A = this chain, B = another copy of it.
């Protein structure tokens, strides 16, 4: 059991209100078109939402939790190339028209999502071009994130990369607790588990995070930010346009 109060599995702050930033920034008109097709689904830990090169049956707007897009090779394990949370969605290949997943997508921190079948979404997109435009703009965020991660992996030390990941994840969950193991972080960053443990111990000694078996608590976000490389800011800045858009309180059936 978690020693920390795990706020990430709590009910969303406002029950029945859409938490997803992508959806809440849609115009009421566009969202109304989408609403009848959306269904709440649980994202269970380590669940594979999409498999690389396989057809995308449905698109998921993340309501809570964190999902990773990962790249793989035969010999190496999976490495995260982008992180998606309340601000985003999984299944962009529907907007791109191929309906084939680019990468494996895995649930890192459990939560919920609003699901719509690919065909339904396609139909709505045809009717509402603004929705497609919104999706395409979101794709730029993802591309930017992937590119920055590529640079970060090439140039920055493990502790900086770890700090970046923790900050991005922190932004995407409710509360300060991240229910992640060192092992998971190691896989995600493509490094040794031991390296993650060492870096986290250093952070804990400086009072930046507090550790528990299976979970981390961010105690001093500002200090963590000064540990991270510029990449965090660069990735985060691109979400500015999403944050800048007016956010609506859309209701959704919790069934």
Smallest CB separation, A77 vs chain B (Å): 9
Q: When chains A and B are docked, how far (Å) is the Cα of A98 from the Cα of B141?
A: 11
Q: Produce 1/0 per residue, A116-149, CB < 8 A to B.
A: 0000000000000000010011011011101111
- Interface residues of A toward B: which range? 35 or more
Answer whether A137 and B73 are a contact pair too, CB < 8 Å, given A143-B143, A146-B81, A189-B154. Answer: no
Q: Which one of A72, A73, A82 has the greatest number of beta carbons of chain B within 10 Å?
A: A73
Stretch at the interface among A21-29, A36-44, A227-235: A227-235
- Cβ B81 vs Cβ A150 within 8 A: yes
23 contacts between A and B (CB under 8 A): A71-B147, A71-B150, A71-B151, A72-B151, A76-B155, A79-B150, A81-B146, A81-B147, A81-B150, A81-B151, A82-B147, A93-B140, A95-B136, A97-B136, A98-B136, A98-B137, A100-B140, A102-B144, A103-B144, A151-B153, A154-B154, A154-B190, A154-B191
Query: Which A residues are closer than 8 A to B by beta carbons?
Result: 69, 71-76, 79, 81-82, 93, 95-98, 100, 102-103, 133, 136-137, 139-140, 142-144, 146-151, 153-156, 189-191, 229-231, 234
